[in-house]
Amino acid sequence: MNNLLIQLKDISLSRNDKSIIRDMSLDINSSTVSNIYGHNGSGKTTLLKILTGITEPTSGEIINNIDQYGSFAYIGHKHGIKNNLTLNENLLYGDSENFYDQNMIDKVIDTYNMGKYKNYLAKNLSHGQQKKISLMKANISSSRIWVIDEPYSALDKDSVCIVDQSICDHIKSDGAVIMSNHELITNKPFNINNIEIN
């Protein structure tokens, strides 16, 4: 049974007298994948930031039923990795709260076929490989909700399959995934709740 994790009620956000989001309501349940899609500047990233609590809405209510720290793994436009740390070190030191053992890190690195680059500095990796490190960080964390801004950008076909599999595994373990994209997403090995934002 799906449980309500987060509920947005009539959320609005304005900046400099310009309305960015108007009366948006959204329910995020466990074991679901939500895709927020819309054109450039429609407020997708802003909505993700409101969900994670980075941005405060101008009006409306956010009900967070999993009011606990570490509940979000957020991957924004920036990858959230350190260029002067290796792939392995980024996973080891990536979370200031939790400690991960090396076996767990090795396992996720193998899942993403990045074993060869384990000791490479992140700055020497490609944009797509850096994206994979940030996705690995979400994978390794105990976060219940993954919030990912454009998860498939810069990824090749094989990597997209790996990400899809990770998302499947995550929702099976009662998690939830909220992603943003420019377009409606279909033909995935999981059900997606597509939400258009204008």
Partner 1 sequence: MNSFLKNIKKEFLIASRAGLEVLMPVMYLFIIMVFFNISISYVEKDIIVELIPLMVWISCLLICVLNLETIFKDDYDDGTLDMFVINDRYIERDIMAKVISHWTLSNLPVVIIAPVLSLILGLDVQTTYVLFITLLIGTPTMSLIGSIAAALTLSLKKNKILISIIVLPMYIPILIFGTSAVNNSYFGIGYESEILMMMIIFLIFLLVSPIACSKALKISLD
In the complex, the residues that contact partner 1 under the rule CB under 8 A are: 52-56, 69-74, 76-85, 89, 93-97, 99, 121, 143
Q: Do residues 177 and 170 lie in contact, with contact meaning Cβ atoms separated by under 8 Å?
A: yes
Nearer to partner 1, 25 or 124 (CB): 124
CB of 112 to partner 1, least distance (A): 19
The amino acid that residue 50 corresponds to is: I
Q: What is the distance between the terminal CA atoms of the chain, rounded to a whole angstrom? A: 31
Angstrom distance (rounded) from CA 81 to CA 66: 26
Nearer to partner 1, 121 or 154 (CB): 121
C-alpha dihedral (158, 163, 165, 169), degrees to nearest 10: 160
Angstrom distance (rounded) from CA 143 to CA 30: 12
Rg (CA), the chain: 17
Cα–Cα distance list, 155 to 71, 116, 162 (Å): 25, 17, 10
CB of 67 to partner 1, least distance (A): 12
Nearer to partner 1, 95 or 164 (CB): 95
Nearer to partner 1, 39 or 123 (CB): 123
CB of 86 to partner 1, least distance (A): 10
Nearer to partner 1, 152 or 190 (CB): 152
- Among residues 197, 195, 196, 141, the alpha carbon closest in space to that of 29 is found at 195
CB of 196 to partner 1, least distance (A): 25
CB of 69 to partner 1, least distance (A): 4
